[in-house]
Amino acid sequence: MGGDPLERLVVDEQTIAREELAEVLAPYVGITKSGGLVLTEDAATLNAATRMLAVMLALWAAEWLGLRASNGASPNELTELSGLPSGTVRPKLSELSKRRLVAKRGTGYEIPLASVRLAAAVVSGAANTRRKAG
């Protein structure tokens, strides 16, 4: 027994996030062996902000799998990966940044590790809303 009771609060955020990402992303995105992303038909049902989050979460997954060197991406790369117009991507990045779900790092954007679970909850919530409506 013994030990500091606060130690029960210590979590391995990467392990928790990996489990959540696998479940949340499966309906929307696949990751190629070269670290690219393949969006499913269901990804097209997500609103622009949620699709951006799904793509950016998939970049985390690709990094953790050793398929990408970084989870960050430039707005141009996010435009390409998400299939959204650049005129949509940039405003959504700004919106997500204001909500503290996305952060600018250098010339790119990423979901901070501390926000991965929050971003996954947004994507998961969109999936649950879609299921209820369908």
What's the pLDDT score for residue 102? 97
For residues 97 and 112, the answer to whether their CB atoms sit within 8 Å is: no
Give the domain range for residue 99.
13-127
Residue 84 lies in a domain: yes
Reported as a single tens digit per residue, the pLDDT across 41-91 is: 999 999 999 999 999 999 999 999 999 999 999 999 999 999 999 999 999
Give the number of other Cβ atoms within 10 Å of residue 23's Cβ.
Answer: 11
CA–CA separation, 107 and 99 (whole Å): 19
Residue 8 lies in a domain: no
- Residue 114: CATH number of its domain: 1.10.10.10
What's the pLDDT score for residue 38? 96
Partnered with residue 81 across adjacent β-strands are none
How many domains does the chain contain in total? 1
